[in-house]
Amino acid sequence: MSDAEPPTAESDDAVAAAFEVVARSAPQIRGGLAGRRGKTDGRNASGETQLAADVWADDLLEERLTAIEGVGQFASEERDDVVDAGDGEYAATVDPLDGSSNLQSNNSMGTILGVYDADLPAPGNRLVAAAYVLYGPITTMVTAREGEVTEYVVENDGSRRAVREDVTLPEDPTVYGFGGRVPDWTDRFADYAREIEDELKLRYGGAMIGDVNQVLTYGGVFAYPELQSRPEGKLRLQFEGNPIGYIVESAGGGSSDGETSLLDAEVEELHQRTPVYLGNEALVERLEARF
Ligand code: AHG
Ligand code: MN
Ligand code: MN
Ligand code: MN
């Protein structure tokens, strides 16, 4: 664990405090990746082998987010169960390291935060805020709260400065990125993909946060679709689909699991998976029309 003073964000505004903890932890997470690329013998609730970086980033965020007065619950993609953090009214969820398989190939990764005003597992329509950090050539953070989406550059000391305010999806979409293996796509998704490829430019980086940041920047659609082998898709609703759906919908876009907005999807299990479709509303509606 870094010996730097752990960031605390004393504030009675738990959402602002959670944003501050994630922003100020980002340079430390980024700085700690190089030596933590190896696999542990641990597996998470989704059955994935955990990298040392997954576990380390998760411990660091759990310690700091549960220390926030208003946070009463914490849950993570890397932990089986919800952590009781006292009697705060909010529940914080993290995907501590999104796209951690990109660590091997040194490509972009992210950290995803959700803040719910309900006990977990909770539907996306109980989110009061969400954010993600993108560990790209520079470290940026996107926050969404009360309908306002803001993009920041995060400095090495964890301070941040807004570089884009009131972020909205560009009118004319230009990019798409679809996960899963093409032969494993269902016919109805493959048909949709064929239609889109004539209109948009393929850019797929293998980490949801990198791919979503492209859609927020250039407009378009990101999907990790239903698969023949996995009709429920790969991504986790609580930790990935909901917070990113909240951010994209706050930026004027649409989100869907094929039937309905991700934010209205029923959440039975903390680690339940969901197909994820996100981006310009018209592109998401065209997909829903097929499902
Ligand atoms: P995580 O590293 O948090 O498990 O997330 C990985 C996810 C997501 O970031 C990305 O969209 C998807 O897995 C990529 O899956 P493939 O490697 O199958 O493309
Ligand atoms: Mn994982
Ligand atoms: Mn992820
Ligand atoms: Mn992850």
Q: pLDDT at position 5, please?
A: 47
Q: pLDDT at position 7, please?
A: 44
Ligand 1 pocket test: pick from 46, 101, 133, 211 the residue with the most ligand atoms within 8 Å of its Cβ. 101
- pLDDT at position 227 over 70: yes
Cα-Cα-Cα-Cα torsion 277, 282, 286, 291, nearest 10 degrees, comes to: 50
Residues marked as binding for substrate? 98-101, 204, 234
pLDDT > 70 in the chain, percent: 96
Which residue has the CA at smallest separation from atom 3 of ligand 1? 98
175-288 belongs to CATH 3.10.20.90: no
Beta carbon of 46 within 6 Å of any ligand 1 atom? no
14-164 belongs to CATH 3.40.50.300: no
What is the residue extent of each domain of the chain?
Answer: 14-164, 175-288
- pLDDT at position 259 over 50: yes
* DSSP three-state, residue 97: strand
* Contact by Cβ (8 Å): 237, 267: yes
Q: Summarize pLDDT for 8-50 with one digit per residue, the tens.
A: 444 459 999 999 999 999 999 999 999 999 999 999 999 999 9
**Cβ neighbours for 168, distance < 8 A, ≥ 6 positions apart:** 149, 251, 252
Residues marked as binding for Mg(2+)? 77, 95, 97-98, 240
- Rounded to two decimals, the ipTM of the complex is 0.97
- The ligand that comes nearest to the alpha carbon of residue 239 is 3
Cα-Cα-Cα-Cα torsion 185, 186, 192, 194, nearest 10 degrees, comes to: 50
How far is residue 226's CA from residue 237's CA, in Å, rounded to a whole number? 13
* Contact by Cβ (8 Å): 113, 18: yes
Q: pLDDT at position 8, please?
A: 43
Cα-Cα-Cα-Cα torsion 17, 19, 21, 24, nearest 10 degrees, comes to: -130
- pLDDT at position 189 over 60: yes
Q: pLDDT at position 9, please?
A: 44
Q: Which atom of ligand 1 is nearest to the CA of 102?
A: 2
* Contact by Cβ (8 Å): 52, 36: yes
Q: Summarize pLDDT for 114-157 with one digit per residue, the tens.
A: 999 999 999 999 999 999 999 999 999 999 999 999 999 999 99
Whole-angstrom CA distances from 203 to 175, 197, 210, 218, 236 are: 6, 11, 10, 11, 22
